[in-house]
Amino acid sequence: MTALISHPARPLAGAAAVPGDKSISHRALILGALAVGETRIAGLLASDDVLATAAAVRALGAQAEQDDNGDWRVYGRGVGGLAEPQGVLDMGNSGTAARLLMGVVATHPFTATLAGDKSLSVRPMERVMTPLSLMGAQFTTRSGGCLPITVTGAPSPVPITYELPVASAQIKSAVLLAGLNTPGRTTVIEPQPTRDHTERMLGHFGAEVVIVEKPGAPGGGGAKEITLTGQPELTGAEVTVPGDISSAAFPLVAALLVPDSKITLTGVGVNPLRMGLIETLKEMGAVLSIDNRRNEGGEPVADLTVVTSGLKGVTVSGRRAPTMIDEYPVLAVAAACAQGVTRLEGLGELRVKESDRLDAIVRGLTAAGIEATATDDVLTVKGGGGPPPGGARIETRLDHRIAMAFLVLGMVAETPIEIDDATTIDTSFPDFAGLMNGLGAAVAARQGG
């Protein structure tokens, strides 16, 4: 384990590029493996999670390698052309990779076993297995439907129309990816919009995807019906991966809180279905601009500039949760430094992330001298309008976002904050400490640790 201490920072200043979007990186490798010909990916996030996906697609018969320029080249096998892996597919810490690849394998006529690390092995997979079973796949799992999971793909898969029981881009994506090698039309109905990277990228590779707004569907306005026509011939494509807004969240919030700061983050993905944090921070009073908007590979991209701002507490409806589900740990840090009470609703999904994030947030904030409480799905944080006491040692629970969020809190607290294990940060944000220190933070390994 690598313990890190985050000391109160000097003003943060300068420009930086955060690592590539993890969600898009996973999908680019997977769809490249299912396409015919060469896919070239620029800006791929070379994190532990994404490298696990690259290894998995190689094990399934595709070629995926980084070239001398740092770009990745994938040579695919075509839809339905993947091969049975010789060994276990190790997904490491990545729930996204595990669930998406379960969808891919579910409609190939072979058997594959997926496994993961200690954290991933307790995360729920039944919600993905349910629709994939309806398509003809069979699963053998540990009790509770957890990894390792052996998938026996359907030799004659059948298309389905499936209404998501919860708003989840991972379940949606698994069903759509299974639908690629299924004759006919596969339809997913989502009660409220979730990140749409899969639909965008499927279209970019040549699939026929039709999206219909369903304002009258259960769940109220914003519901969507996504229909994929199966067995297309996907063609290798050029993909540019934008900076990950979930990673950008950490330096953005740090600059909002550390006095006299101003930073710019370049080339960040600003997909409308990922902008919940930005909308919430603006409601709290953040001075934040979105400049140089452009489109790269089907995804909107922009530069984000933020300056130190006085924040106030707000109430955030659970309907916003799908657009910022990974950003709640660092949003809780912002709430701890805001003036007044912040109430974040609809957070039940945080109970089944890399850790029980809701519990980890409350325990960490409380240890740092901040008043915070949680019910099953609501987090309430009482901010003091300035630096909290700090001085805590945080148990990260193998959760990269908990680790980074509390390092950000240490940058603004009155006394340093230590995290017990920074190793897992590499799953999404390699050299996080280096980037933050380059902007003016003071994050260092614990002496003797």
Spatial separation of the C-alpha atoms in residues 270 and 128, rounded to whole Å: 27
| 431 part of the active site | no
Q: DSSP string of 137-160? A: -EEEESTTS-SSEEEE--SS----
Q: Are strands 38-42 and 315-316 parallel, antiparallel or unpaired?
A: unpaired
For 409-420, b/e burial (b = at least 16 CB within 10 A) is bbbbbeebbbbb
β-sheet bridge partners, residue 28 = none
Per DSSP, the three-state class of 76 is coil
- For 3, what's the count of Cα atoms within 13 Å in the CB-facing half-sphere? 14
Catalytic residue among 196, 303, 326, 399: 326
Spatial separation of the C-alpha atoms in residues 429 and 245, rounded to whole Å: 11
- For 379, what's the count of Cα atoms within 13 Å in the CB-facing half-sphere? 34
Cβ atoms within 10 Å of 126's Cβ, excluding its own: 12
- DSSP single-letter state for residue 13: E
Spatial separation of the C-alpha atoms in residues 409 and 300, rounded to whole Å: 30
Cα angle: 274, vertex 287, 22; to 5 degrees: 25
Written as six digits, the tokens of 59 are 């094990």
- DSSP single-letter state for residue 10: P
Written as six digits, the tokens of 335 are 């709430």
So which residues are the catalytic ones?
326
